[in-house]
Amino acid sequence: MKEKNATSEEQNIHTDFKENMTYGDYLQLDKILNAQQRLSGHHDEVLFIIIHQVSELWMKLILHELQAAVTAIHDNDLSSAQKKLARVSKTQSQIIQAWDVLATMTPSEYMEFRDSLGQASGFQSFQYRMIEFALGYKLPHVLKIYEKDAALLAQLQQAYEAPSIYDAAIAALKRNGLAIDDCVSHRDFTKSYQENESVRQAWITVYQNPKTYWELYELAEKLVDIEDWLQQWRFRHMKTVERIIGFKTGTGGSSGVSYLKKVLDQRFFPELWDLRTEL
């Protein structure tokens, strides 16, 4: 049987873009692909820049989905919130895998251009801070880092003062008839969330009666997924840093690996983890 010419079957492919938008135009690839400006002449600095730029793009998507999920929960559309949170978890897996690529860079290679970074550090990532805020972990001193940019500081301040995804989930517990202390419902959202007995009992009730509270049960598991993946990201971050610079101080002035090990102990949704021991 005579093979068909693939080209002859694709006569309708558009090739004239003098007046029309192209794929590159839509994605603004001219800006994206020209945003890797090395400060040294070292080959591996391109890898270093791209890994961090891609991670920031993924974090932008995470924030987009978390903010939409909070709105959906407030609107009592828990199934929509669950889908958005599931997307967050899949996105987190992409960021985790990025560390494997960065880990192909050796200590000797990194030291060739590390001084070019000055005091710039991933510690200063404002999107990462906004993700922490969205999950309920809030420390006022980190806002000082962003005083250089008034517009950015205002954006961060708004996120800092807003209820977290966990606050939204706790409000959903209360709307569904589960007893939540008023001190939790009306708490100061600029403070990191602290464990509460009424919240613990409410989640235990949900987990003991999943058929009755199916959407809350599924919502809780999506939140656990997100915290699980975030801690895996932090662990891979810590091990990659240790692999490349050991226990040197970070470019941003942090203690480096020692600091990254400490944050592994941070918890966002404590009752959802503690109840596993009690069930």
Tokens read off for 1? 């049987």
- Residue 237 marked ligand-binding: yes
Q: Closest by alpha carbon to 127, among 190, 63, 70? A: 63
Residue 261 CB burial class (10 angstroms; 0-12, 13-18, ≥19): middle
CA angle (231 as vertex; 257, 277 as ends), nearest 5: 125
Q: Could you tell me the sign of the dihedral formed by the alpha carbons of 34, 39, 40, 46, in that order?
A: negative
- Residue 114 marked ligand-binding: yes
- Residue 269 marked ligand-binding: no
With a CB cutoff of 8 Å and minimum separation 6, the contacts of 63 are 127, 130, 131, 134
Q: Greatest CA span in the chain, whole angstroms?
A: 77
Cβ contact 68:206 at 8 Å: no
- Residue 110 marked ligand-binding: yes
b/e sequence 182-197, b meaning 16+ C-beta within 10 Å: eebeebebeebbeebe
- Residue 73 marked ligand-binding: no
- Residue 141 marked ligand-binding: no
214: how many CB neighbours lie within 10 A of its CB? 13
**Binding-site residues for substrate:** 48-52, 110, 114, 251
**Binding-site residues:** 48-52, 110, 114, 237, 251
**Binding-site residues for heme:** 237
